[in-house]
Structures are given as structure tokens and as C-alpha cells.
């Protein structure tokens, strides 16, 4: 089933949140489909956490609305909230209680009976050896595990996570990635997670939404991301139009793009670089330089979210 044919389970409509004279979220329209992993990316302060709080009805929007599982999200939207698991702001566990007590308290608050899913959540999050330790004695990474375990207790259809890999070491990050992938692929859980680290989520996400200064700049599918992370031979020339014609007609090049900065990027046939240069020169095109490179996703992200220093700081 293609991603576009899946049921929409989260949608925001013109979502705005203003704090005094600061627009934390501005006209946000995003769409999340069932069983996909949606990574919500932005710099610190871009509006990610504010958006998540609006989605969970922890904040009231200044204007616009959020709809999850067909329900408009308001503080009393119990039919939706009971089908959502969430982790917001440093896991939200009680530091003076043990891991076991935190999970038991969360179970009671959710009105859940004792059952195997609690044990499964402990196992999935690697909490077994910490059950009898107070949460305030744990590392930040293990506190994140506790928060994730609490979020999974009700076996949610939708998991909303704010920076779930914060404080985790590389092995822990890999474990969380594997867990979220398992939940989406094998259980059909929809995962919406925020992050400011593109390299962590590009291996995981089906869709990436990029937020900057409260606005959603772009939603990118995984396949498009792969296309943007390609190696290329960049050839800087004196005449782009003549160069493109020469590469096509004389060298049979088809997989290339013409850039406004006076360069062509060729995405295949790198071993023919000398042939391309010769054909261009013979065709009357001056070659100003050529080099192999790769358009990193981080480059795209930084370019898209280039900050305007004249804008006020946005609290996220």
C-alpha cells in the first residue's frame, strides 16, 4: 500500500500559537498517515515542542486546530487521548519513585489491568535491570527509556515523542530506532517524533517535516530524501545551455541537473569525467572546474532553514 493511500490519523489546520509578541507556531498544516514514522525536524527553538503540546491538547492554540484519529484535540478529547502514547519534556517521570513505581502509577492512571503488555513494555525499552532504582538516580538516557516505557503502556495506536533519543549513547539510539521501526512495521503503530538531528532520523523516517521559526517549510518522503543524498560530478562552465546540449548530444548524458550558479551536476558515469571535459571544450564551452561531491541531507536542512537574524527568537 502506498503511503498516500493510507488513512490520515493526524492533521493540523492552520495551527498557530502566540506567546505575547512571539509566534511560536504559524499556520501549520501537516499530515501524518497510519503506520508511518513521521520525523518532525527543526533547530532548537523552531517550534517542535510547542507543536507537540498543541497536538496533545496540553496547550490551547491561538487559532487553528488539531485532529487525531478523527477527533478534534481538546483537553477532554478522551476517545483520542486513550489511543495515544506520548513522551514530552525529559520523559516526565517522577524522580522520587522507582522505575517500577512509575510504571505502576502510569498503569493505574490509564485504568489498565495488570497484564503482559506492561512486562513487554519493560522488555522493549530495556528497563528490567532498573525496575527497583529511583528514576532520579538514572542517567538521562535511561530516564528517556522510562518515559518511552510509560508511553507504551496502553499499547497506543499513535506514539508522539519529543526528542526520544535525547541523552542516549549510540547503542541506545540504535535500540530506539529498532524499537520504533518494529512498532510501525509489525504493530501498525503511527510514530510522530521530533528531533533536531537529521542524521539520526533519516535511517528511520517515512516522512520528514521541517519546521523553522514556527512554520512548516517542507514535508519530504523517504524516496525523495534518498535522491537528495546522491553523489555527483559538478562541472562549472561558461555556458550552461550549450554545455547541457553538448553532454546530451555528444555523451548521451541524461541524469543531470542545471544549477543557476553556473554548474551542472551529473549523477552517473563518473568514470567518463575526462570524456565530458573533452566534449565540452570541443563544443566551445569553457570548463572552469570540476569535482566530485555529495549533497548531504544536513546541507539541505541548513540551507532550507537559514536563519534570518532580524527575526525574534522562537521558543519551542
Give per-residue pLDDT as tens, 214-271.
999 999 887 676 666 678 899 999 999 999 999 999 999 998 888 878 899 898 899 9
Query: What does the pLDDT look like over 36-62, one tens digit per residue?
Result: 999 999 988 999 999 999 999 999 999
Same domain? For 64 and 182 the reply is yes
What are the backbone dihedrals phi and psi of residue 178, each rounded to the nearest 5 degrees, phi first? -65, -40
Cell digits for 4? 498516500
Residue range 188-198: mean pLDDT, rounded: 92
The domain boundary, picked from 104, 127, 154, lies at 154
Report CA 168 to chain centroid distance, whole Å. Answer: 17
What are the DSSP calls for 176-198, one per residue? Answer: HHHHHHHHHHHH--EEEEEES-H
What local confidence, expressed as pLDDT, does residue 73 receive?
94
Same domain? For 148 and 163 the reply is no
Same domain? For 7 and 78 the reply is yes
Give this prediction's pTM. 0.76
Q: For the chain, where are the E strands, in sequence order?
A: 8-19, 22-28, 31-33, 37-41, 63-68, 71-72, 84-87, 158-162, 190-195, 207-212, 215-221, 231-237, 256-258, 263-266, 287-294
Q: Is residue 309 in some structural domain? A: no
Q: Which residue has the cell 567518463?
A: 272
The domain boundary, picked from 226, 250, 279, lies at 226
Is residue 144 within 8 A of residue 164, CB to CB? The reply is yes
Domains held by the chain: number: 3
Does the pLDDT at position 312 exceed 70? Answer: no
Same domain? For 40 and 19 the reply is yes
Q: Burial letters for 62-89: b for 16+ Cβ neighbours within 10 Å, e otherwise?
A: eebebbbbeeebeeebeebbebbbbbbe
CATH assignment at residue 168: 3.40.50.300
Query: By residue range, what is the domain housing residue 278?
Result: 230-294
CATH assignment at residue 260: 3.30.70
Query: What does the pLDDT look like over 69-87, one tens digit per residue?
Result: 999 998 878 888 889 999 9
Burial of 1 (0-12, 13-18, 19+ CB in 10 A): exposed
Same domain? For 125 and 138 the reply is yes
Is residue 2 within 8 A of residue 46, CB to CB? The reply is no
Q: Is residue 49 in some structural domain? A: yes
Amino acid at each position: 500500500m502506498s503511503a498516500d493511500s493510507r488513512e490520515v490519523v493526524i492533521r493540523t489546520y492552520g495551527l498557530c500559537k502566540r506567546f505575547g509578541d512571539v509566534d511560536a507556531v504559524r499556520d501549520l498544516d501537516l499530515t501524518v498517515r497510519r503506520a508511518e514514522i513521521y520525523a518532525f525536524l527543526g533547530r532548537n527553538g523552531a517550534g517542535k515542542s510547542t507543536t507537540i503540546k498543541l497536538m496533545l491538547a496540553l496547550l490551547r492554540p491561538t487559532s487553528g486546530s488539531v485532529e487525531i484519529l478523527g477527533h478534534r484535540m481538546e483537553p477532554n478529547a478522551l476517545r483520542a487521548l486513550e489511543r495515544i502514547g506520548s513522551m514530552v519534556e525529559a520523559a516526565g517521570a517522577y524522580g522520587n519513585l522507582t522505575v517500577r513505581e512509575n510504571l505502576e502509577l502510569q498503569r493505574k492512571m490509564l485504568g489498565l489491568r495488570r497484564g503482559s503488555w506492561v512486562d513487554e513494555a519493560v522488555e522493549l525499552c530495556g528497563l528490567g535491570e532498573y525496575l527497583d532504582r529511583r528514576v532520579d538516580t538514572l542517567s538521562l538516557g535511561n530516564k528517556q527509556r522510562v518515559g518511552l516505557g510509560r508511553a507504551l503502556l496502553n499499547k497506543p495506536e499513535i506514539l508522539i515523542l519529543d526528542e526520544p533519543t535525547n541523552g542516549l549513547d549510540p547503542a541506545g539510539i540504535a535500540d530506539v530506532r529498532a524499537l520504533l521501526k518494529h512498532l510501525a512495521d509489525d504493530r501498525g503503530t503511527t510514530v510522530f517524533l521530533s528531533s533536531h538531528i537529521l542524521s539520526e532520523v533519516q535511517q528511520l523516517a517515512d516522512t520528514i517535516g521541517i519546521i523553522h521559526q514556527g512554520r512548516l517549510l517542507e514535508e519530504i518522503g523517504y524516496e525523495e530524501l534518498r535522491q537528495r543524498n546522491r553523489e555527483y560530478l559538478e562541472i562549472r562552465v561558461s555556458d550552461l545551455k550549450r554545455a547541457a546540449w553538448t553532454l546530451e548530444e555528444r555523451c548521451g548524458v541524461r541524469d543531470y541537473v542545471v544549477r543557476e550558479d553556473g554548474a551542472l551536476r551529473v549523477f552517473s558515469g563518473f568514470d567518463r569525467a575526462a570524456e565530458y571535459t573533452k566534449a565540452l571544450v570541443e563544443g566551445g564551452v569553457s570548463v572552469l572546474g570540476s569535482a566530485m561531491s555529495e549533497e548531504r541531507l544536513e546541507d539541505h536542512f541548513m540551507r532550507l532553514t537559514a536563519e534570518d537574524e532580524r527575526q525574534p527568537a522562537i521558543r519551542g
